[in-house]
Amino acid sequence: LPTPTPMPKKGGLFGPASTPPPAPFPKPSAFGNPQPSGSFGPSSPSFGAPPPAPAPAPAPAGGFDGHTHVFDLRVAYADTDRLGIVYYAVFLKYFEQGRTEFLRALGMRYRDIEMERRFFLPAVEARAQYLAPCRYDDHLRMRTWVSWLGPASVCFQNELQNVDEGGRLVARGFTRHAVLNEQWKASRLPPDLKQRLQSVLKPD
């Protein structure tokens, strides 16, 4: 049988005692992260000054432009479909946002209309025409106005523009709403609210 190799007299299983110990971990910085060293140190070009902040987005437009209310919004990632464009049903949500901000600018919060005034504006007809695609993070501008006002119904028109493309018209449409009381019966608009809507009526 072969003679076994004797163990080293000094040191241990991991080599002679003269082997230097491994380098210690770098000391944590003031922020609790290890200080990089070598080619990844602070003096390395890859760790230079932070990139400049992106230019701020244009200030959102809002309020009335004549008889038309203007409201700006951004396309959220969740609004897009597998093709990377805004899903067609989302445009109706944008119409609703424009309608809600239209009423708010007239001093009629939709929440107050339902919870305090106790009447409702359910949609009974909707139409949308899609003219160009919109994508994630596009800056859009919704234009909303009242095109028809009846005793117990109201029609809102909408136009959606892409500000990032020079105001290109990307969609338009309308929603028509019945006026119902809390018994879910047709009801006339309260005189004060009807007067406010008539003040900005823009018949087509």
Q: Which residues are catalytic, by number?
A: 81
Rounded-to-integer distance, Cα 146 and Cα 58, Å: 27
CA quadruple 28, 31, 32, 36: dihedral, nearest 10: -40
For the record, the structure tokens of 59 come out as 């200030």
User: d(Cα 66, Cα 145) in Å, to the nearest integer?
Assistant: 10
Per DSSP, 13 falls in state T
What is the CB neighbour count within 10 angstroms for residue 71? 23
Query: Partners of 193 in the beta sheet?
Result: none
**DSSP SS3 for 28:** strand
Q: Hey, CA dihedral for 163, 164, 165, 171, is it positive or negative?
A: negative
